[in-house]
Chain A
Amino acid sequence: MKIAVCIKRIPDTESRFAVAADGKSVDSAGLKFDISDFDGYALELALRLNEPQGPGEVIVVSVGPEGTQEILRKALSMGADRAVHLTAEALPFDGMAIAGALATELQGQGHDLILFGRNATDTGNATVGPMTAARLGLPCVTAVSWLEIGGGQGTAHRELEGVTETVRFPLPAVLTIDEGIARPRLPSLKGIMAAKKKPLDSRPAALGSVQLTVEALTLPPERTGGRIVGEGADAVPELIRLLRTEAKVL
């Protein structure tokens, strides 16, 4: 199958978080970047779907600034066949703008599947996948936790609140991938060497107009927590009293 995987470069969310001098973006000084968590699952799934089925191609695509090529190289070293870097000085927050750039790139290329992560772990919008599908006019299934492909059809599971939904869809299709479906492999030394010779194309992203912007970025209000009610089981009655009379949650 010809599978495109759209991946995003994100800062390691465990690292230090600071607001930049402009008051509306993340201070990137000293941050480490990697492939967004769910996008890693999507890439691994694409590689596994193609491994037993013979001829196929996995193409990784990413929109972003210069450093984006590092994650595309990593994806190539994991086993993707080629990469496309859609260059943008900065990644806009507006999912529609990103979807527009991706749809322009992916249009009419004959992909059987276009995969995304369920959401980016930094911005957490979960919008670009289904918006790209809408732009391409392709069927879309979001938050796929289990997948079976055969005979030009797919069956997917989605985990909703308390229930699992089973969905049927035809190929080609756009899927966004949930956690746990396929744990991403680590690049092998052989893979890293091979990646150096794989094609990585670069062209400007056709972002179009941006209608949703970040006006300010602030730190969350500090919770005035840390009140120790007491020690051991004997503190429980006082806790219950506070929950009833002060917090009023009982």
Chain B
Amino acid sequence: MADMFAFAESRGGALRKVGFEAVTAARQAADATGGGAVHVLLAGGPGISARAAELGRFGADLVVVLEHPALVEYGPEVIAATASARLGSRPYRAGFFSASAQGRDLAPRVAGALGRPLAADLTDFEITGDVVRARHPIFIGKGIATLCLHGSPALLSLRPGAIAPADATSPGAARIERIEPALDPESARVVVTGTTARAAAKLDLGEAPVIVSGGRGLKSAEHFRLVEELAAAFGNAAVGATRAVTDDGWRPATDQIGQTGRLVSPDLYVAVGISGAIQHLAGMRTSRVIVAINRDRDAPMMKLADYAIVGDLFEVVPRMTEEIRKVRATE
């Protein structure tokens, strides 16, 4: 039996799916060691404690709530200090974070404060005795490193989407305990002064179950309308793009999927007019199901795809939009 720690990410007072993933991983790890407790840190502005109970569904036994007016926005130093203090206060076997934008910022701060190594951006992990073995894609996905991490607490950050958030097999009501910040927010040096939503940011690439992505095959920025319409027909899809497309300014740089952009693992990835440069494949090859639509049947993306249609995307995509609309209408 070993106890686990997880950080439940939130933003703007709402829990994020990547936080459920971290709690799910902690629950699975605790169960695998014969059923230890899962303690979860939730931090936010006034009212965040109302969200704590929901974490019980994913297997949290105790939710430690850090509620403070200074944490309406993410507070890297205050949260890192509080997470480190908590992790150091008990013999936790492991601490779970997401390798989301916030988690990539937070987890190495905690590791640095504790003087512990961090196994980052993992696609899976296994705890046996004193050793954690975990997998992490390297070299833009060309290789998979099996990492070996000794000692406690083992700090792990999980690639978003790598672990499906799952309702715990025997969820109990999570106990809720309020705690004070381990660092006075007044003395924090790094202060988030605000966030602004980027234009056209509806569903985020990291959270959308479906991604419809477009490449050079669309021939112009205007034709991205076809991709947007298909995404809209799905209803749960985000729009992505290749680097060629974002470099040309057809789409904002933040839509780029690949080596230097976002790394995604949706349930369904629809590649429209994307030949499949290695840098792009690196960002999406872990998607569960891949569909490719391309004129060239020999394109690397067509070889990678589970289902491919050879043809003119200007005919295939509108037809697909129409068919998906029909499917959604009957649901």
Q: Name A residues whose Cβ lies closer than 8 Å to a Cβ of B.
A: 11, 13-14, 17, 19, 24, 26, 37-38, 93-96, 99, 121-135, 139-143, 158-170, 173, 179-180, 211-220, 223, 225-233, 235-237, 239-240, 242-244, 247, 249-250
Task: Select one of B109, B115, B192 contacting A166, CB under 8 A.
Answer: B192
Chain B residues in the interface with A (C-beta under 8 A):
11, 73-74, 76-77, 100-102, 104-105, 107-109, 111-113, 115-121, 133, 136-151, 189-198, 201, 204-207, 209-210, 253-254, 259-260, 267-268, 278-279, 285, 288-291, 297, 302-312, 315-316, 318-320, 323-324, 327
Minimal beta-carbon separation of A196 from chain B (angstroms): 31
Residues of A within 8 A of B112 (CB): 96, 99, 130-135
How many whole Å from B81's CB to the nearest CB in chain A?
Answer: 11
Chain B residue numbers with a CB within 8 Å of A17 are 139, 142-143
Q: How far is the CB of A92 from chain B (nearest CB, A)?
A: 10
Contacts A141-B190, A213-B147, A226-B308 given; does A96 touch B323 at CB 8 Å: no
4 tightest A-B contacts by CB? A134-B112, A212-B117, A162-B201, A130-B108
B309 adjacent to A239 (CB under 8 Å): yes
Contact residue among B74, B117, B139, B195 (Cβ-Cβ distance under 8 Å from A95)? B117
CB neighbours (8 Å) of A243 from chain B are 268, 289, 291, 307
Closest to B159 in A: A124
Cα distance, A122 to B138, chains bound together (Å): 6
Contacts of A215 in B (CB 8 A): 133, 146-148
A126–B194 CA distance with the chains assembled, in angstroms: 23
A125, closest chain B residue (CB): B120
Contact between A169 and B305, CB atoms less than 8 A apart? no
> Is the Cβ of B193 less than 8 Å from the Cβ of A162?
no
Q: Which of B119, B120, B144, B304 contacts A217 (CB 8 A)?
A: B144
CB within 8 A of B316: which of A125, A135, A236? Answer: A236
Between A and B, 24 residue pairs with Cβ closer than 8 Å are A13-B140, A13-B259, A96-B117, A121-B140, A124-B121, A125-B120, A126-B108, A127-B118, A130-B112, A140-B109, A159-B198, A163-B11, A163-B201, A165-B194, A173-B190, A214-B147, A223-B304, A228-B309, A231-B311, A232-B315, A233-B315, A233-B319, A237-B323, A249-B289
CB-based contact B260/A93 at 8 Å:
no
